[in-house]
Structure 1
Amino acid sequence: MSAPKINVQAISSGILSDDVLMLGEPLMKRSKIPAGQPLTLQFGSFRHSVTVIPVPRYEGLRISQTLFRRMGLQSGSSLRLQYQASSRTLSLGPLIGVLVSREYPHQPDKPFGDITMFCRELTDACRKQGAYVYFFTPGALGSSQTAVEGWVYNDGWQRMTLPVPNVVNNRLTSRKLENLPDVQQFMKEITSRYGSRVFNEKFLDKSEVFDALKKDANLRRYLPESHSLRDFSMFRSMCSRYASVFLKPVRGSLGKGIIRLTRLGPESWQASYATVNGTRKMNFANLTKLYASISGKMKSVHYLIQQGLDLIEIGGRPVDFRALTQKNAVGEWTVTSVVSRTAGSDHFVSNLARGGTLSKTREALVKSNLPAVFRGDASARLHRAALDIAKGIDAYIPAHFGELGIDLAIDTNGRVWLLEVNSKPSKNDNTPLTEGKIRPSVRMMIQYARYLSGF
């Protein structure tokens, strides 16, 4: 990443015309940028013909106020600059667009609701790294794919028209929004027309993940037996092999709709339903009656039926682990963080939305009922599993991902298991947000965006 970071300064249009740039002479010499010759200035999808005037003993870039506004820049902007002699193009960037689900224009301090602080954090991190970021929603997309109505932060949030970005981070949290024709057309159009890159471009279904990873013999060791639940025969077969099984909505999230089935006797079973207020339990005399109770739901919800696991616990509460895996500055998968999640009281799912609590991995392992003989290398094995699974998703699912939330578990024999892969990992689920502090996960996202865009 040799593209240098420079300050971009706006000059009155009465002093500097729109087709002239003033650039530090030392930088022009290093980058072999010709003076006084027609070049193309590029910023995302923005293109403009310019000539460059060298400025002695100066390292920044000066452009006219009018051009500054047309590009959607804000005062104090620092960007990366690179010159391609073959196309005579002077590029500024990277320009990053983050596609979010909704906006609240009537809340000027929190236009994106709960994720506003993350958006501020990302803006601050981009300034430090010489990138420019804006945020937009599906509602900002229309028939034109040449510009986007987005939000930028500079001593307050403001809405403005910006060029199509070099890189789009798809953080839509709804399949319905993601599948809107305007969204799909936008992603397709900007990729073909401008060479923009979109990552985390789609949701992952649970069945899709487990079916894909089964193809790799090295990954099967992490996979509990899982099948799409299609009929009673499959249901009875799984229940005959395991003392407990889980039914998980293929497209569910945040622990919604999960049902745990536990054998009580030779024929009888108990169904535990995950609800916001805790676990609701029902007993059934046999599997036929149990299946009849859920078959109505199967008409509208597709379930994955999965082998139950004897997970480690803290004080009788199940423990699992959320690993955040991200691609780095050279496009390779890394594990940014692994945190422990302990289920809340009267819950068997650990999601924070259901009362789960975060803690450090090592602390959770020490407090848990995991036998001491298995504790020593447990953290390393969690890291290895997360990395293996992220690489497996890349290899076997035809989509572009830059970060994945991978939910893992350890059973009482010390074995690591995969629970779920989330292609839209929450920014509150790995390390807590702190005002003014930039987390490693945010810095890593920008580094990957720079890698994708060539800056």
Structure 2
Amino acid sequence: MKRHIRHVPDKLIKTKVLCRCAEVRSQIPLTQSMNGRVLYDMLHKYGMVYIKPCQGAQGNGVIRVDKIRRGGRRARTVYRYQEGTRVRSFAHFGKAYQELYRLTKGTPYLVQKGIELLTYRGRPFDIRVMVQRSRRGSWDATGIVGRVAHPRKVVTNGSQGGTIYPVDVILQPYASHGRRKALIASMQRIGVKSARQLAAVFPGIREIGADIALDRHLKPWILEVNTSPDPCPFTKLRDRSMLHRIIRYGRGYGRKYRLKCTKSKRGMV
């Protein structure tokens, strides 16, 4: 019999639930509901933030916002945002926020402390960890994959033209073989802890996709957790073992996946 699979779309609600767990909270960048004051304060504290629709998918609506100091003795502050491939700059925060408000159409957005992503071949990347409930009831990390952003975009999603690589490949410039193995295991544990925490509040959840960034110190940060993750990135790996495992686990709780994935690209290694 097919079991109910619960989907929790609101990013802010999921973040608040995850932050109740001390082990997970330390891996989450500060995230708040957006208004003009919150955006201004976080920009002036961190210099760069991401704003995201509280309910959205596939990287749609995600905007990077920077506060930049330019010039020497007569330095001036510039507020810049990037949405998709479009970049705009403003001399005053009020003008920047007015334009951002127009773009977001007044819908609920969140502001998240910006984590400067590591890059692979000059393009930022993050890591998707797939975690699923087994027939026995345990939470298992069933897949992990690297997502490299489109050359002219700030989001890494395959649906936005991102390129998919094995995680071990994109981490090679940053860590030894042993360190890479430890990092991968650490990110898988973070994914499992996140799934357990969300399932404690939303018992119908059967799977999550945790999007994790590594900063320049190789600390993992949870950028977002999706409760209805798309396995498409795993179709781009030459090694199909993770994809087959994901499909097998999904079959156990009645999930069928659409595996025709045309927008993302397979990385050449």
Is 1:235–2:23 an aligned residue pair?
no
- 1:338/1:225 CA distance change after superposition, 3 Å: same
Deviation at 1:380, TM superposition (A): 1.2
The residue identity in structure 1 corresponding to 2:33 is: S
Structure 1 distance, partners of 2:204, 2:88, is 42
* 1:249 partnered with 2:59: no
Q: Does 1:273 align with 2:83?
A: yes
Match of 1:356 among 147, 159, 162: 162
What TM-score, normalized by structure 1, do the two folds share?
0.51
Distance in 2 (CA, whole Å) between partners of 1:445 and 1:249 is 27
- Counterpart residue type for residue 237 of structure 1: D
8 Å CA contact 2:130–2:210 kept in 1: the answer is yes
Residues 397-427 of structure 1: per-residue CA shift (max 9 Å, x gap)? 3341111111111111111011111122113
Q: Tell me the C-alpha RMSD between the 2 structures.
A: 2.2
Counterpart check, 1:328 vs 2:134: yes
Tell me by how many angstroms 1:374 deviates: 5.6
Q: Do 1:322 and 1:430's aligned partners in 2 also have CA atoms closer than 8 Å?
A: no
Q: Which amino acid aligns with 2:249?
A: M
Of 180, 186, 197, the match for 1:381: 186
Give the one of 188, 206, 223 matched to 2:28.
223
Q: Which letter does structure 2 place at the counterpart of 1:321?
A: I
Residue identity in the other structure for 2:125: V
Shift of 1:366: 0.5
The 1:219/1:268 distance shift into structure 2, 3 A limit, reads: same
Out of 346, 350, 353, which is 2:152 matched to? Answer: 346
Q: Matches of residues 199-214 of structure 1 in structure 2 within 5 Å? A: 199=5, 201-214=6-19
Aligned residue type for 1:215: R
Query: Aligned residue pairs: how many?
Result: 245
Q: What is the alpha-carbon distance in structure 2 between the residues aligned to residue 336 and residue 263 of structure 1?
A: 39
Among 370, 390, 410, the residue aligned to 2:195: 390
Question: Distance between the aligned counterparts of 2:106 and 2:203, measured in 1?
Answer: 26
Q: Tell me if structure 2 keeps the 8 A contact 1:408–1:416.
A: yes
Instruction: Give me the whole-angstrom Cα distance separating, in 2, the residues matched to 1:203 and 1:210.
Output: 11
Separation (CA, whole Å) in 2 of partners of 1:366 and 1:439 = 25
Q: Is the 8 A contact 2:165 2:237 kept in 1?
A: no
In structure 2, what is the equivalent of residue 404 of structure 1?
208
Question: Are the aligned partners of 1:324 and 1:430 in contact in 2 as well (CA < 8 Å)?
Answer: no
Matched, 1:445 2:250: yes
The match for 2:63 is: 259
Deviation, structure 1 residue 286? 2.1
How does 1:69-88 map onto structure 2 within 5 Å?
Answer: none
Q: Indicate conservation of the 8 Å contact 1:271/1:281, yes or no.
A: yes
AA aligned to 1:363 is: V
Give me the TM-score of the superposition, normalised by structure 2: 0.84
* CA distance in 1: counterparts of 2:40 and 2:219, whole angstroms: 26
Higher RCO by CA contacts (8 Å cutoff, separation 6 or greater): 2
Q: Percent identity?
A: 28
Determine if contact 2:164/2:237 at 8 Å carries over to the other structure. Answer: no
Separation in structure 1 between the aligned mates of residue 148 and residue 59 of structure 2, nearest angstrom:
13
Specify every segment of 5 or more residues in structure 2 that has no aligned partner in the other structure, as ranges.
70-75, 255-269
Q: Is the 8 A contact 1:248 1:303 kept in 2?
A: yes
Which digits, 9 at most, give the CA deviation of each residue in 1:307-355, with x for residues without a partner?
0012110122111111111011211110000001111211111111111
Match of 1:264, SS state, is strand
Q: How far apart are residue 270 of structure 1 and its match? A: 1.0
| Post-superposition offset of 1:204 | 2.3
Secondary structure of the residue that 2:217 maps to in structure 1?
Answer: coil
Tell me, in whole angstroms, the C-alpha distance in 1 between the residues paired with 2:104 and 2:233: 30
8 Å CA contact 1:342, 1:357 repeated in 2? yes
Report the secondary structure of 1:268's partner residue.
strand
